[in-house]
Chain A
């Protein structure tokens, strides 16, 4: 759980700065700075929208210091253990100021968040299709491949975990469809639909072709047109 929060923080930072196009090293540097300074000492150059995010992250700092060492180095471990006690007092004071914004994160689970988390999970062949408006199914249709069934399951579960984290009150929960099938899983987030498939399954169904060329799809054209048999008599339904 704590590990997931760390990763989601990293992913959100990458999603926030997508327009600024920071590279991975810059992001990790920022995260390390944040965790070192307990999120409210060092002034990192962030846009105003991310101030709330930083303060919100400070709320969670005391709960996962020991796990967040993947990109900051192991030497920080001992420092953090001592810093914990002195920092908890400051965090309490911070808490009252942050009470006004009940959710710590001002992020919404958008397409950008989902795409960046899929990229982070080493998704193979990520394909995002903008569904035309006259098809009132979803706004975006994503097809992702994975290396193995376990990889697909991990990606799907992580996507749902991040969604649950960023979900606001009133938004419905999301479930994984097709859990028993190991080669094809779907998640339907309201306006986005994601399909996790193995490359072989993807070749069979060719969903991207169907959803980009709607009526001009090859497999649809191969379906023979239905013809009535010669001896067909239409018995009009008469009322009793």
Chain B
């Protein structure tokens, strides 16, 4: 961003006066919101309900937190294939705390009402910060393959 100004100020030293060359060594992305009502989510376990194709993507219809915002480790209610199913958020696009992983998709693991996961394996990396959180996450961590 400072390049064009510098180019103007030092005309003797710098030769190229073409249009602004923005060279960045880091990636820039838009701001992303956390999981809330009506967000489309990606089911990452190997359950049949989450993997069979349907004409509508699974959407969140309720977030079980005090505010309606869902972060990693929060339970949500999804509408999948015309039925309601509870799920656990295991990663979202919104940047969270420092030194916690940020995912490129809002990942979710389907869960039964008694807390047992519906699928049996999770291929997608799962954050290890779930372990320190209050809540029943050991079952989801037990069926996960990779940890981030």
Contacts and interface: CB of A to CB of B under 8 A. Distances in A.
Interface of A: 135-137, 141, 177-178, 180-184, 186, 188, 193, 195, 201, 204-207, 210-211, 214-215, 217, 219-220, 222-223, 237-240
Contacts of B120: 204-206, 219
A137 B147 contact: yes
A233 to B, nearest CB: 16
Nearest to A186: B138
A177 to B, nearest CB: 4
A137 B131 contact: yes
B38 interface: no
Contacts of A207: 142-143
Interface residues of B, number: 22
Given A210-B143, A240-B30, A183 B116 contact: yes
Interface string B106-148: 0000001011100011010000100100001111011101010
Contact of A220 (B115, B123, B128, B139): B123
B116 A137 contact: no
B28 interface: yes
B39 interface: no
Contact of A223 (B121, B136, B138): B121
B29 interface: yes
A128 to B, nearest CB: 15
Contacts, number: 74
Contacts of A136: 128, 147
5 contacts: A136-B128, A177-B136, A186-B142, A215-B145, A240-B30
Given A205-B120, A219-B121, 18 more contacts: A136-B128, A136-B147, A141-B142, A177-B115, A177-B138, A178-B114, A181-B116, A183-B116, A184-B116, A206-B120, A207-B143, A210-B143, A210-B145, A219-B120, A223-B46, A237-B28, A237-B30, A239-B28
What 9 A-B pairs are tightest by C-beta distance, nearest first? A181-B114, A186-B138, A177-B136, A237-B29, A239-B28, A223-B46, A219-B121, A177-B138, A237-B30
Contacts of B128: 136-137
A205 to B, nearest CB: 5
Contacts of B112: 181
A238 B27 CA distance: 10
B59 to A, nearest CB: 19
A208 to B, nearest CB: 11
Contacts of A141: 142
Contacts of A177: 115, 136-139
Nearest to A135: B147
Given A180-B114, A239-B30, A220 B138 contact: no
A205 B117 CA distance: 10
A137 B141 contact: yes
A220 B121 contact: yes
A222 B121 CA distance: 10
A85 B141 CA distance: 54
